[in-house]
Amino acid sequence: MKKECTSSQVKMGDKIYPCTVSLAMDLVGGKWKTVILYHLKEGGKRYSELRKELFSVTEMTLSLQLKQLENDGLVSRTVFGEKPPIKVVYALTAFGETFIPVLDAITQWGNRIAEEKGSFTE
């Protein structure tokens, strides 16, 4: 048996996974979750700030992905104020910050691919 899977299954919450890679990909997989985490790496942001930085994501997708990241404990949602207009800030949790080394590795790899096979544009 491989080191990363010391048993035939992994359980987290009410979900059962065939291996730890499956568990990790459930938390950060998909087109937008890792990108959202990357944009929160340097600090908390309001929804509108994220929306501007992720200009090609739909509002519904961004909202759904933020809720999933929050439910999985990677992102916190802090509400300031009681009456509209209220301020909502999303930030990485301590658990979310443990993903930063992976984000850095993905960023370096993406930069390398862009330099070797593509180009950076304005």
Pull the structure tokens for residue 31.
Answer: 């087109």
Q: What is the pLDDT of residues 32-60, one digit of tens each?
A: 999 999 999 999 999 999 999 999 999 99
CA distance 21 to 74: 17
Q: Of 2, 38, 40, 39, give the one whose Cα is nearest residue 18.
A: 2
Give the domains, in start order, of the chain with CATH numbers: 32-117 (1.10.10.10)
Average pLDDT value for residue range 12-17? 89
**pTM exceeds 0.85 for this model:** yes
Q: What is the pLDDT of residues 63-102, one digit of tens each?
A: 999 999 999 999 999 999 888 878 999 999 999 999 999 9
Pull the structure tokens for residue 121.
Answer: 């544009």
Tell me which amino acid residue 30 is: G
CA distance 34 to 47: 16
Neighbours of 106 (CB within 10 A): 16
